[in-house]
């Protein structure tokens, strides 16, 4: 969901800072010095950086209740910093490169490669036990970065992007829940109407916004569709950008046609974020469909607005593929942490230990372990996510220089949707830009 990249040229500065930090030493897994739970030691501090997410700004108060027990057990104090999404990557880049970064971090997929290459994030293999692998549900390849576990997901998968529809509008049109792109296109055309006969369109087929100023709205407007077309942004094995292949071009053409050929998007689509389009058109009953996050918050908004909605995460593209974007944000053990056992103890506590339930309740999230006896994800969509989530919901594939490419891709798509370039030319341009950047692993 996210954030302008500030990671260009990060690696060299991070390596220098981490080399200095290493001089002070750090505990490997299994070390007894300074380990968690040593009450005879001096009181310890743990620096934890998290995104600021509380609606009323009381993140610190909410977390204080969750970690009280851990602090007492470990003779430690947690120093939280809560950072806005707008400043998130810049804060990490600055903090780590100057040696003032956290012991425990919080990263989304796009952030990982640059920090991994700089040696700023620990591979968790020495810390994870067989019991962990057996119990956690968030350590499989969907959550791995370059084939390794560099973090533990903050929660289990309880939501993803999906298609929501206004069933009252569909029923009036004699239509059912869309199963594929062709259904979406057909229904969107039928639903785009002048309902009061004043000569102006006042109901649209699809509430979609293309006006976001940074690449966050690729979450709703791109990733899922290119997967449904059978492609991806990057080749998983080589790291090359592959958007100039058939799947990328097909995806771009479909989105272009929805706006410029079929005219099923709101007239102000280029000035709205996708969230604004959802609120202004779908929640007011002025649009038949929308692609949005299937979350407790959005389900509540639809209920409060009186929308008779249906939803699906099983939409198929032209090749029969499925795939909707899902977050895979993770807690990370930072390499500069002086007491790595203490930092790992905290991560375990809030993901699988006594603090996990409080952390997941605070976020309306599903647990990330099999032995959890609670569930704070949305019960309405629980069965759907448990049944179809493993095959229909997926995080991004990690790739070096991805934030720069996503930023360029978003701006190029905006130009394309405005009719400035063709879909094929747009995909060729983005691919050429992406592959002009260095995407080789260090020392390769």
If asked whether residues 422 and 352 sit together in one domain, one would say no
If asked whether residues 221 and 125 sit together in one domain, one would say no
Residue 274 lies in a domain: yes
Torsion angles phi and psi, residue 270, rounded to 5: -80, -5
Residue 252 lies in a domain: yes
If asked whether residues 278 and 426 sit together in one domain, one would say yes
Residue 391 predicted with pLDDT over 60: yes
pLDDT digits (tens, 9 = 90+) for 286-316: 999 999 999 888 999 999 999 999 999 999 9
Q: State which H helix or E strand residue 48 sits in.
A: strand 44-51
Higher pLDDT, 167 or 142: 167
Q: Give the DSSP per-residue string, 389-444.
A: HHHHEEPPPP-TTHHHHHHHHHHHHHHHHTTSS-HHHHHHHHHHHHHHS--SPTT-
If asked whether residues 69 and 108 sit together in one domain, one would say yes
Going by the DSSP 8-state scheme, the letter that residue 335 receives in this structure is T
Predicted local distance difference test score (pLDDT) of residue 1 = 39
Residue 334 lies in a domain: yes
Regarding pTM above 0.95, the answer is no
Residue 286 lies in a domain: yes
Q: Please tell me the chain's helix, strand, coil percentages from 3-state DSSP, rounded to the nearest 5.
A: 40, 15, 45
Residue 3 lies in a domain: no
Q: Which residues are bridge partners to 51 per DSSP?
A: 83
CATH at 409: 3.40.190.10
Q: Which pair of structure tokens corresponds to residue 204?
A: 């649209």
pLDDT band at 78 (very low <50, low <70, confident <90, very high): very high
If asked whether residues 233 and 188 sit together in one domain, one would say yes
If asked whether residues 274 and 362 sit together in one domain, one would say no
pLDDT digits (tens, 9 = 90+) for 38-56: 545 688 999 999 999 887 8
pLDDT digits (tens, 9 = 90+) for 175-229: 999 999 999 999 999 999 999 999 999 999 999 999 999 899 999 999 999 999 9
Among 156-160, 201-205, 326-330, the least confident range: 156-160
Number of domains in the chain: 2
What are the distances in angstroms from CA 225 to CA 110, 112, 188?
Answer: 18, 23, 16
If asked whether residues 137 and 233 sit together in one domain, one would say no
Residue 443 predicted with pLDDT over 90: no
Reduce the DSSP state of residue 288 to 3 states and report it. strand
Q: Could you say which of 394, 412, 427 is where a domain stops?
A: 394
If asked whether residues 381 and 312 sit together in one domain, one would say no
If asked whether residues 242 and 171 sit together in one domain, one would say yes
Predicted local distance difference test score (pLDDT) of residue 85 = 85
CB within 8 A of 348, min separation 6: which ones? none
Residue 1 lies in a domain: no
Domain coverage including residue 381 = 10-157+327-394
If asked whether residues 358 and 428 sit together in one domain, one would say no
Arithmetic mean of pLDDT, 132-155: 95
If asked whether residues 320 and 199 sit together in one domain, one would say yes
């Amino acid at each position: 969901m996210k954030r302008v990249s500030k990671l260009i040229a990060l690696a060299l500065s991070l390596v220098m800072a981490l080399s200095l930090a290493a001089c002070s030493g750090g505990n490997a897994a299994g070390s007894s010095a300074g380990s968690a739970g040593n009450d005879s030691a001096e009181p310890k501090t743990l620096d934890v950086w998290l995104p600021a997410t509380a609606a009323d700004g009381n993140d610190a108060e909410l977390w204080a209740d969750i970690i009280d027990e851990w602090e007492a057990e470990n003779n430690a104090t947690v120093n939280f910093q809560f950072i806005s999404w707008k400043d998130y990557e810049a804060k990490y880049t600055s903090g780590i490169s100057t040696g003032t970064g956290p012991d425990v971090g919080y990263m989304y997929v796009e952030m990982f490669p640059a920090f991994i290459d700089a040696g700023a994030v620990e591979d968790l293999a020495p810390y994870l036990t067989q019991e962990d692998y057996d119990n956690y549900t968030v350590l499989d390849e969907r959550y791995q970065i370059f084939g390794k576990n560099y973090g533990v997901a903050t929660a289990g998968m309880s939501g993803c992007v999906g298609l929501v529809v206004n069933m009252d509008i569909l029923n009036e049109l004699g239509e059912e829940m869309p199963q594929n792109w062709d259904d979406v296109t057909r229904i969107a055309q039928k639903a785009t109407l002048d309902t009061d006969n004043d000569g102006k369109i006042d109901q649209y087929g699809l509430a979609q916004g293309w006006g976001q100023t940074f690449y966050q709205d690729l979450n709703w407007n791109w990733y899922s569709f290119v997967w449904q077309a059978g492609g991806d942004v990057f080749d998983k094995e080589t790291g090359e950008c592959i958007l100039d292949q058939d799947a990328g071009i097909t995806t771009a053409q479909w989105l272009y046609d929805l706006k410029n050929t079929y005219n099923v998007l709101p007239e102000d689509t280029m000035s709205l974020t996708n969230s604004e389009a959802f609120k202004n058109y779908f929640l007011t009953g002025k649009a038949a469909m929308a692609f949005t996050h299937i979350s407790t918050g959005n389900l509540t908004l639809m209920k409060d607005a009186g929308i008779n909605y249906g939803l699906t995460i099983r939409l198929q593209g032209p090749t029969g593929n499925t795939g909707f974007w899902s977050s895979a944000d993770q807690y990370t053990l930072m390499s500069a942490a002086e007491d790595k056992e203490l930092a790992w103890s905290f991560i375990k506590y809030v993901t699988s230990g006594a603090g996990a339930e409080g952390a997941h309740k605070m976020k309306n999230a599903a647990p990330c372990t099999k032995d959890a006896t609670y569930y704070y994800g949305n019960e309405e969509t629980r069965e759907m996510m448990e049944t179809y989530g493993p095959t229909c919901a997926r995080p991004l594939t990690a790739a070096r220089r991805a934030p720069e490419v996503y930023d360029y891709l978003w701006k190029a798509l905006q130009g394309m949707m405005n009719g400035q370039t063709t879909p094929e030319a747009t995909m060729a341009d983005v691919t050429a830009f992406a592959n002009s950047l260095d995407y080789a692993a260090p020392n390769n």
